[in-house]
Structure 1
């Protein structure tokens, strides 16, 4: 399993994303339920956000991210996707870093 730190950038003011926020949250929840996402949250101020994800490959991650509602509407892009190895982490995260996602 490969791990990634993603930085998203809104291409429009956050206020104009209102019609997609519910779909965005549903997308994230599906990712959490499937074991793909560890945490996510907006930047302050809300110009974008961060996401820690895992996938079998970068290609699998890209396919997953292509379904993100803000991205599909061309209102957000991922400006940085960095693969990393989790060399150290809190013991409570050992299941997530050691367990394969579907």
Structure 2
């Protein structure tokens, strides 16, 4: 499993201009089963994505993000293996 931390590298006006395309990209990754959760950082300096799958596939998908393609965000990927979860989230544990 992966935690992806996006950090904006451009003004929010540049981010907002690409937001609809970014949301469409997110929706496709959810439909493909890659993303589990996502949202904005507070304060609004970037975002966080919880993802599963293979690292190479995740990196390839991140490269398709309109934010990446337009150079307005950078991505830090942290891989981890969940050992415990809250009730109802047991599906996040690896077999």
TM-score, normalised by the number of residues in structure 2: 0.88
Compute the displacement of 1:93 (Å). 2.4
Question: Does residue 83 of the first structure (1) align with residue 85 of the second (2)?
Answer: no
Larger strand share, 1 or 2: 1
TM-score, normalised by the number of residues in structure 1: 0.83
Give the SS at the match of 1:51.
Answer: strand
Q: Which has the higher contact order (CA 8 A, sep 6+)?
A: 1
Show structure 1 runs of 5+ residues with no match.
none
Cα distance in 2 between the residues matched to 1:94 and 1:44: 27
> How many residue pairs are counted as aligned between the two chains?
94
Show structure 2 runs of 5+ residues with no match.
none
RMSD: 1.6
Which 4+ runs in 1 deviate beyond 4 A?
A: none
Give the SS at the match of 2:56.
Answer: helix
